[in-house]
Amino acid sequence: MDFDRFVLTASTADLSAEPAARDHADAVEFRMDLADDPLAALDAYDGELPLLVTNRAVWEGGDAPEEGRLATLETAVEHDAVEAVDVELRALTGTAETTARDAAALREHARDHDAAVVVSVHDFERTPPASELRELLVDAAREGDVGKLAVTATDRADTLALLSATYEATAAGETVATMAMGEPGRHTRAVAPLYGSRIGYAPVDPADATAPGQYDLATLAHLVERLDTPEA
């Protein structure tokens, strides 16, 4: 998956929703941790959009139990439709239940199968101070092909700090994806691409949101396009 430009992903636990995403999305984020039988769903997938697979750990806001979590992702990246995989920064640095060795093995396995690696950080409680935001983005981008940072905004100052960190990281040559969760940060999902964010996430159906403050796919696609298109 090519992240030298903005990639809008439709987040879903149901790959049968892929046809409804084609008009607006560049890819599908398959939330394997929220699916009933994710590997069977991958085997049956015959959609047109490439897949970014996520098997989010419980300790970072997902539903996947730790046992077998990374092995499932290793199997997933062997599918031709899978062009990117999400791995948590805490897993790669050994600061979570997952050992760094296992997470690093997944990263190498993904690259062996030509899948990009998105290294992610999520903070569901706050927006860290500006210096910490920059450090998290640097660390995540260094560990993967894209460094993803999702924080929780409580006011406009939080969103400004995130957008500033996004711009600084991009100006330094790092490939990052950023967004602020929660209502105060909702607009960052549309605005962050202007500051260099390379991935956006949105559900096809608003009822199926996978994170707080997400726009539905059609709305986010429209907003990003309007902001990116100069007025005549």
CATH number at residue 27: 3.20.20.70
> What pLDDT digit, counting tens, does each position of 110-139 carry?
999 999 999 999 999 999 999 999 999 999
Indicate if the pLDDT at residue 215 is higher than 80: yes
Indicate if the pLDDT at residue 1 is higher than 60: yes
Indicate if the pLDDT at residue 232 is higher than 60: no
Residue numbers belonging to the annotated binding site for 3-dehydroquinate: 29-31, 56, 189, 210, 214
Range(s) of the domain holding residue 112: 7-228
Is 170 in contact with 181 (CB distance < 8 Å)? Answer: no
Look at residues 167, 201, 204 and name the one whose alpha carbon lies nearest to residue 186.
201
- 113 in catalytic set: no
Dist CA 228 CA 133 (whole Å): 25
Residue numbers belonging to the annotated binding site: 29-31, 56, 189, 210, 214
Is 85 in contact with 118 (CB distance < 8 Å)? Answer: yes
Distance of CA 15 to the CA centre of its chain: 17
Indicate whether 151 belongs to any domain.
yes
pTM of the model: 0.94
Look at residues 211, 96, 101 and name the one whose alpha carbon lies nearest to residue 148.
211
Number of domains in the chain: 1
Look at residues 187, 86, 188 and name the one whose alpha carbon lies nearest to residue 140.
86
> What pLDDT digit, counting tens, does each position of 77-90 carry?
999 999 999 999 99
Indicate whether 2 belongs to any domain.
no
Indicate whether 170 belongs to any domain.
yes
